[in-house]
Amino acid sequence: MSAITFEPAQASSGQAVVGKVTLSRAVATGGVTVPLRSPDGSSLRLPSSVSVPAGANFVNFNITAPVVTQLRTIGVEAPLGGVVQAGFLRVEPAPLAIASFTLPAEIFSEGTAGQGRITLNRPLTRNFSDPITLASDNANVTVNATVLGRSGDTVITFPVTVRNIPAGSPSVPFKISATLGDSVKSATSKALGRQVLVDRVAVPPAQSVVSGQNPTEGQVFLSVASLEPTEVILLSSSLHLEVPATVKVPANQVMATFPVTGKGLATGAASVTAVLSARLNGGNQRIVNVIVRSPEALVARVEAPATILSDAPPQNGQVTLEGPSQSATSVALRSNFQPLRVPASVVIPAGQTVGIFPISASGIAEGARPFSGTISASTPVPGSAVRTASVSVTAPPPSITIRELAFTPPGPLTAPSSTTGNVTLSGPAPAGGTRVFVGVVQGHSFTSVSPNAVTIPAGATTGQFQVHVTTDIRSDASRTPMDAGLSCISTNIGSQVGVRSCVSVGK
């Protein structure tokens, strides 16, 4: 062995190098094989040996300088005939450069920033401080002016932000350039309009519908208005909740409505919770839980006796539903007249349509005239009809009667004049007194009474009123003046047939 040399003697990482083994003289017939080895390990890839052909005294071999991060001397040994010859190759780091540069295929305006990725040809060293400069060819696409890596990094990332491109706009191509010293790389991508997302879906006001009723209005909201109509895909998780397959949000708007229908639940059946989803094709999804309630039974009619006697035993009223319910139905009852009493509600058992309830009256004084009241029945279903029935409430029959009606003076009377009517009861008036109604039944054209009703105090038996006659006595029928006439007065307690009496009148 004479020498081992390298050309060049100092190389950069990754550079091709030619090694040369030189012998002291030409090789005889058959040539010679010279082993090669590196005491520095496997960082330098050497052939295990080289062959010097017959008649030659050297042989060349090719190697590649290993990647190093700092200047390094690598030794190579060639033992032959008991003699070890060594050669040395100085390797320095390759100039730092951008090996590759990539961007996402597309980036949404106002969305999450895209990530640019720069790969270097070797790791950064601690003493490297030169930044990589960045530039965008589109005013709507922004990047940092420079970016730095850390010692040991081979990959550097940075954010790419897109702004002010409306949703629904055509995509805009752009290019970003990265420069490191003399190394320049560029990458292209597409800027997309602001991403349209489903913001929420709702079925106001209570996220519920009633099976079998008219559709309720559902609503879907987008995160941003688009320049183009946006189709939203709708889906229900239950056969009891029906929605259209899609709904379109008009251009430049963020909300659209669609019909939501409950179906298939019998009256009084248990409620069903369905999941309503709204999503964009290839986009996000929003959901809402919607309760499908069974229809409540409606009142077909309410019936009551035509007449109720005050302070008498209760009579029965009846409520009839339009159809049977799978659960008990509570029907609300109400009276518009305080003395006419009904319960607050009546419960109709499951599977039945008729409910019976008591009707009673109290507090009507003896002899009072009948009062008309109304009973209403309804179920708590929004918009359902209220059914009514009319009831006449009559006073209890009087415990006493009118025994006599007399006049003082008894007549005949000379017009104009007055006489006092005297009402006598069959017994003392009860607590609260007895009210006696007074009226003219003959001689209306020239006779009047005052007052029209007399209250006889409790414990008393008589009451008085005045009968007045005028000078202009005329026939009631023909309105013809007469020389004489007859004034007839009737008295009664409530609906009881009372006593009638007359007095003659002359001019």
pLDDT tens for each residue of 41-63:
667 888 999 999 999 999 999 99
**What pLDDT does residue 30 have?**
86
Domain that holds residue 351: 299-394
317 and 362 belong to one structural domain: yes
CB atoms under 10 Å from CB of 55, counted, come to: 10
Q: Give residue 297's pLDDT.
A: 83
- 97 with 123: CB under 8 angstroms? no
In this structure, are 318 and 406 located in the same domain? Answer: no
Judgement on whether residues 309 and 349 belong to the same structural domain of the protein: yes
Q: pLDDT digit string (tens) for 337-382? A: 999 999 999 999 988 999 999 999 988 876 677 889 999 999 877 6
Q: Same structural domain for residues 280 and 310?
A: no
Token digits for 477?
Answer: 């029928």
Answer whether 442's CB lies under 8 Å from 487's CB.
yes
Q: Does position 265 have pLDDT exceeding 80, yes or no?
A: yes
Residues 138 and 212 in one domain: no
Question: Taking all residues of the chain, what is their mean pLDDT, rounded to a whole number?
Answer: 89
Instruction: Answer with the one of 343, 364, 394 that is the final residue of a domain.
Output: 394
pTM here is: 0.49
* Residue 458, helix vs strand vs coil: coil
User: What letter does residue 211 receive in the DSSP assignment?
Assistant: B
CATH number at residue 52: 2.60.40.1930
Last residue of a domain, one of 192, 211, 226: 192
Which of 192, 223, 239 is the last residue in one of the domains?
192
- Which string of b and e fits 114-147 if b means at least 16 CB within 10 Å? bebebebbbbbeeeeeeebebebeeeebbbeeeb
Domain tally for the chain? 5
- Both 416 and 368 in one domain: the answer is no
CATH of the domain at 358: 2.60.40.10
